[in-house]
Structure 1
Amino acid sequence: MRILITASVLFLFNFLSFSQQISGLDVLDKAIKYHDSQNKWKTFNDTLYVTMESPKNSNRTSKIIINLPKEQFYLKTKRDSIISEYNLNKDKCLISLNGKTNLSNAVLKTHNLSCERANLYKNYYTYLYGLPMKLKDKGTIIHEKVEQKTFKGKPYLVLKATYEASVGKDVWYFYFNPKTYAMEVYQFYKTDHNGSIKKDSGEYILLTDEEIINGIKMPKTRAWYYNKDDGYLGTDILNK
């Protein structure tokens, strides 16, 4: 028993000492090496198939094509009998609903379809499935200090990321496995007009399992929860 206790204390001491020595950018580089060892994200051109499960709605399936070199993005979603499509080709935007492209303003408004929303989806999916590589983007500020935290009973090395005003106001935390540097959790908070975190805002996302897409290790399952009360929002499942 004494040996076990001593070993545990030694591991904790080494872990704390290591997290104080390594910098935020060092952890990020190691995480990127784990997820994208061949540096393929910059030329990513592939298709993602995602099923979204939520407690209050029927499942939504999505086909997502991201072509970074050609600046193209395509999203096709289906929930029940409604099929919507967004096709972005640089500055060009095409929207369709159940196969029809000549849509009235009333129909677009009813189904919340717009080119602005298409770009939001593009940024959303490119950001989340491009992590942690996207943390190298211009305007992202990786804080130097690496925190050691236990979350849901597991130890993590945690990076804090904030953004230049032109990019965003949220504060993000990224949780990495201290042995492999795999990204296993991320979390964000909203801020007030002074830039202080609103503690009852935002969400955390638990990442489990992986799929290898175009040589990149991506989270297969992402489960979303509110920070304030651990309320469950839904789960995204990535399929090949």
Structure 2
Amino acid sequence: MKKLTTLLFVALATISLHAQDLTGPQLLEKAIQYHDPQGKWESFKGTLLVTMETPNSPNRDSEIKIDLPNQYFYVKATRAGKTTEYTVDKEKCTILFNGKTPTEEEKKANGLSCDRANLYKNYYSYLYGLPMKLKDPGTQIDAKINKIKFKGKPYLVLRATYKEGVGKDVWFFYFNPKTYAMEIYQFLKNGEQNTGEYILLSGMETINGIKMPKTRAWYYNKDDKYLGTDILKSKK
């Protein structure tokens, strides 16, 4: 498989076309209309069940609760007989390990901290809130979009950067030119080539009216090494 990074940079260097006469912000609006047609993300309250499969490791099963209006986040993750629970309720953070408040030794041995709790909150809210999260303050959407083919399939590519203090990575989002569904995204650490990862999206799970990618397969940009797959389902 050809490296997605190489394809991207060659394409951006050689194909500087306005796709279908859309601007970046216009493409984003069409993508949001596909994924969140009723504008429900800002008031999202829901539970996500995510299984993470990684090579040579047991699965990690997570139950994630996101309540944006009440600034509440909860994740319970179980792997290899260990269960961690993080709650961020506005500014208050709570940690449980195997159902109990962890000792300082358990925190250190298992990397448990409120910093990690907030990292998970931001991580899950960002990735499962895409592409709507690209409307957040501090996000800078390129006016020009580009056409690129990956594995023979055409995409409209949107580039996003962030203001100082918000983020340093450069992100690229690949949308289906017919439906405007998000099918790939990629980030470069500090914008440097051959860093970061790309993520292939497949399937769709509709949760509280929002279409979220069901399966996300992660790869390194530098060598296409497979990292793992997240599988989403809603709580029945």
Compute the TM-score of the two structures, normalised by the length of structure 2: 0.91
Write out per-residue CA displacement over residues 120-144 of structure 1, whole angstroms, 9 at most, x where no aligned residue. Answer: 0000000000000000000000000
Is 1:233 aligned to 2:227, yes or no? yes
Residue 117 (structure 1) aligns with: 116
Report the secondary structure of 1:29's partner residue. helix
Q: What does 1:167-182 correspond to in 2, within 5 Å?
A: 167-182=166-181
- Contact preservation (8 Å) 2:17, 2:147: no
Q: What does 1:1-240 correspond to in 2, within 5 Å?
A: 19=19, 21-101=21-101, 103-191=102-190, 197-240=191-234
Extract unaligned runs of 5+ from structure 2. 1-15
Q: Displaced runs of 4+ in structure 1, greater than 3 A?
A: none
- What CA distance in whole angstroms lies between the structure 2 residues aligned with 1:238 and 1:122? 16
Q: How much does 1:165 deviate?
A: 1.1
Write out per-residue CA displacement over residues 206-231 of structure 1, whole angstroms, 9 at most, x where no aligned residue. Answer: 00000000000000000000111110
- Contact preservation (8 Å) 1:208, 1:221: yes
Report the secondary structure of 2:159's partner residue. strand
Amino acid at match of 1:122: K
Q: How much does 1:18 deviate?
A: 6.0
Residue 13 (structure 1) aligns with: none
Residue 13 (structure 2) aligns with: none
Compute the TM-score of the two structures, normalised by the length of structure 1: 0.89
- Contact preservation (8 Å) 2:18, 2:145: no
Write out per-residue CA displacement over residues 96-125 of structure 1, whole angstroms, 9 at most, x where no aligned residue. Answer: 000111x22221010011000000000000
Q: How much does 1:20 deviate?
A: 5.9
- Contact preservation (8 Å) 1:201, 1:227: yes
- Contact preservation (8 Å) 1:20, 1:147: no
- What CA distance in whole angstroms lies between the structure 2 residues aligned with 1:87 and 1:20? 44
Report the secondary structure of 1:58's partner residue. coil
What is the aligned-residue RMSD (CA, Å)?
1.1
Q: Larger Rg: 1 or 2?
A: 1
- Contact preservation (8 Å) 2:31, 2:131: yes
Indicate the structure whose relative CO is greater, using CA pairs within 8 Å and at least 6 residues apart.
2
- What CA distance in whole angstroms lies between the structure 2 residues aligned with 1:88 and 1:190? 27
Q: Percent sequence identity over matched residues?
A: 61
Aligned length: 219
- What CA distance in whole angstroms lies between the structure 2 residues aligned with 1:183 and 1:171? 17
